[in-house]
Chains A and B, each alone.
Chain A
Amino acid sequence: MSLAERLMDSSLMRRNNALRSFTVAAWLGWQIESNWADPFLFAIYSIARPVASVMILVVMYSVITNGALDQPIFAYVYLGNALYILVGQVITGVSWVVIDDREHYRVAKQLFTMPMNHALYLLGRGVARLLIGTISLIIVVGFGMIVYKIPISAATIDWPVFLASMALGITTLAALGLILGALTMMMARHFWVLGEAVAGALYLFCGAIFPLETLPAWLRVVGFAFPVTYWLEVTRRALLGPDAVGFPTLVWLSDKQLLLILVGSALLMVIGSMSFYRWAVYRAKDKGILDMETSY
């Protein structure tokens, strides 16, 4: 009996429906994401896209600054872009499951008749993308440390703040993914672009690669309303250390205050996303569109 089988057969798993739904979905998600190719090809696929997206930024920065990649602010911009890999992966990772099950595998009906927690199933399926995103993030940051001398070292990282911010940030992103998944249940058109479009929109507002001060004043408000803005700020501070040069936008907030904001926003997002998800499922059932195959 394999380790996975033993885990699934444990009494804890049998008793706890939520845990079982999440774990099995995570395993299933990983199988779907990874079993289409040999590991080498899969690794290239997982790495090439995020590395390319970071390199676009590096070239843009280099073109304008005549290759002054040793400027302190570059590390901040680079890390913002690298961390942003997780935003796209987690948001689309969770929301895409609805499309995959409904349109591609056509099993939405079967899934809703199974004895499982469907919301946790969606979140579990997103774990595979989170893993891929984390590996990509580590590679991109490592690449930056070696090639562009991004000043990160294990000794200077504020580990408690870093770990807390990552946990809160990922929770918030997963909740956002669940909201998009719930929206997808009610959409017959354009659902393909929803995840990536929202991730693209957040990229503009959250100060990942430029300070919010660059945006017109009326647009900055949007940035301040998104938890991702605070997550990127506190994570960059934790990674680069207290003396690092950063954007001026949130200098008036301490790390603790940023973490408190993140705790509050994560709570709000989790409660809001679960409520919205329940409403969306109810509405989709009411309209008879829960298992519609649009072929759009």
Chain B
Amino acid sequence: MNDEGRVRKATGFRLFWITLWARAYPRIVGTTREKSWIFFDTLLPVMGTTAYIFLYRALNAPPDYVGFVVVGGAMTAFWINVLWSMASQLYWDKDAGNLELYVLSPGPLMAILAGMSVGGLVMTGARAAAILTVCSLLFNVTYQINSLPMLVLVFVITMAALYGMGMVLASIFLATGREAWHLSNLLQEPIYLASGFYFPIKAMGFWVATAASILPLTLGLDAIRQLLFAAGPSLGFLSVKAELAILSVLAVVFIAGAYVSLYKMEEIGRRQGRLIERRR
């Protein structure tokens, strides 16, 4: 409100910024208000990851492989978040009746997606940190960090590319209707396999690893492991610098792609009158 009691309307970048934080807010605040996620989203998923750790132990694998699984297990939280809380989110919102409110509000849809990303990143970061801490303590994982600034940079760029990809998927999933549900299901285990969540991606062979590099987590995980573990560099697919460069390109491409695909899908949805239709 200004001095005359009139509402000061936000426009341009300020509107984008306000919308972004408005959408991120419930996800960030939800993490601190509702603590039950610590059990359901951390301890329960840890058990599934732990099974792979015990498999490596049963096979007498080198200790660093246990660390590989722990880091991979923590990163699954981000992929699950991107699939179910980014890619499928607009579909859920359509189902719950929120999408029509988004469309009617002056806030840009891109800002809403970006807000979901920021909120999801904070929310999932807390979950991933919890998984990492619990598993590292339980299994005595030894980290040998080569370069902390590089590690932070790789993580940030990976997340930018990953959530950019999530935004692209969100617009695609919105168009696919209830197939979105099945698509999300379909993209779980196959992506764990293709991205090498539980083993070094190098083991898949050069061509498979190259093809899988379109997924930001493939190179992101590989680079993070190289920077975190003594055995990492010898088991890495490409050099960390090369992976960082590719990830940067992926981040730009996915975020730009998200902008284009979102507005394209919105336009098609409006033309066909199916943007907020809930039957599909």
Contacts of A113 in B (CB 8 A): none
**Which of A52, A198, A211 is B193 in contact with, Cβ under 8 Å?**
A52
The minimal Cβ–Cβ distance linking A65 to chain B, given in whole angstroms, is 7
Residues of B within 8 A of A (CB): 34, 36-37, 40-41, 44-45, 47-48, 50-52, 54-61, 65, 95-96, 178-179, 182, 185-186, 188-190, 192-193, 197-200, 203-204
Q: A36-B179, A295-B96 are in contact. Are A210 and B44 (CB under 8 A)?
A: no
C-alpha gap A63/B69 in the complex (Å)? 13
Contact A49 B189 (CB under 8 A): yes
The 6 closest A-B CB pairs, nearest first, are A200-B48, A197-B44, A210-B58, A190-B40, A52-B189, A52-B190
Closest to A198 in B: B44
C-alpha gap A201/B96 in the complex (Å)? 31
The minimal Cβ–Cβ distance linking B42 to chain A, given in whole angstroms, is 11
Contact B48 A36 (CB under 8 A): no
A209 touches B (CB below 8 Å): yes
The digit string for A215-228, where 1 denotes a CB below 8 A from any CB of B, is: 10000000000000
Q: A200-B44, A204-B47 are in contact. Are A55 and B55 (CB under 8 A)?
A: no
Q: A55-B193, A62-B203 are in contact. Are A211 and B58 (CB under 8 A)?
A: yes
C-alpha gap A53/B57 in the complex (Å)? 19
C-alpha gap A210/B58 in the complex (Å)? 6
Contact A209 B44 (CB under 8 A): no
Q: A64-B59, A64-B65, A210-B54 are in contact. Are A189 and B34 (CB under 8 A)?
A: yes
Residues of A within 8 A of B (CB): 36-37, 44-45, 48-50, 52-53, 55-57, 59-65, 77, 104, 189-190, 193-194, 197-198, 200-201, 203-204, 208-211, 214-215, 295
The minimal Cβ–Cβ distance linking A48 to chain B, given in whole angstroms, is 5
Contacts of B45 in A (CB 8 A): 193, 197, 200
Closest to B34 in A: A189
Closest to B48 in A: A200
Contact B192 A204 (CB under 8 A): no
C-alpha gap A77/B55 in the complex (Å)? 10
C-alpha gap A63/B50 in the complex (Å)? 18
Closest to A197 in B: B44
C-alpha gap A193/B38 in the complex (Å)? 13
Q: How many A-B residue pairs have CB under 8 A?
A: 107
Contacts of A200 in B (CB 8 A): 44-45, 47-48, 51
Contacts of B55 in A (CB 8 A): 57, 60-61, 77, 209-210
Contacts of A56 in B (CB 8 A): 189, 192-193, 197-199
**Which of A37, A45, A190 is B185 in contact with, Cβ under 8 Å?**
A45
C-alpha gap A53/B41 in the complex (Å)? 21
Contacts of A208 in B (CB 8 A): 51
Q: Kindly name the residue among A49, A52, A57, A63 whose own CB sees the greatest number of chain B CB atoms within 10 A.
A: A63
C-alpha gap A296/B193 in the complex (Å)? 29
Closest to B182 in A: A45
Contact A59 B59 (CB under 8 A): no
Contacts of A215 in B (CB 8 A): 54
Contact B186 A45 (CB under 8 A): yes
Contact A48 B52 (CB under 8 A): no
Closest to A57 in B: B55
Contacts of A50 in B (CB 8 A): 189
Contacts of B178 in A (CB 8 A): 36
Closest to A50 in B: B189
Contact A214 B44 (CB under 8 A): no
The minimal Cβ–Cβ distance linking A28 to chain B, given in whole angstroms, is 16
C-alpha gap A50/B56 in the complex (Å)? 21
C-alpha gap A204/B49 in the complex (Å)? 8
Q: A104-B95, A189-B36 are in contact. Are A49 and B185 (CB under 8 A)?
A: yes
Q: A48-B186, A52-B189, A56-B192 are in contact. Are A64 and B56 (CB under 8 A)?
A: yes
**Which of A37, A59, A211 is B182 in contact with, Cβ under 8 Å?**
A37
Contact A52 B199 (CB under 8 A): no
C-alpha gap A203/B34 in the complex (Å)? 28
Contact B190 A48 (CB under 8 A): yes
Contacts of B58 in A (CB 8 A): 210-211, 214
Q: A49-B190, A197-B45 are in contact. Are A204 and B61 (CB under 8 A)?
A: no
Contact B189 A53 (CB under 8 A): yes
C-alpha gap A44/B179 in the complex (Å)? 13
Q: A56-B198, A193-B44 are in contact. Are A214 and B54 (CB under 8 A)?
A: yes
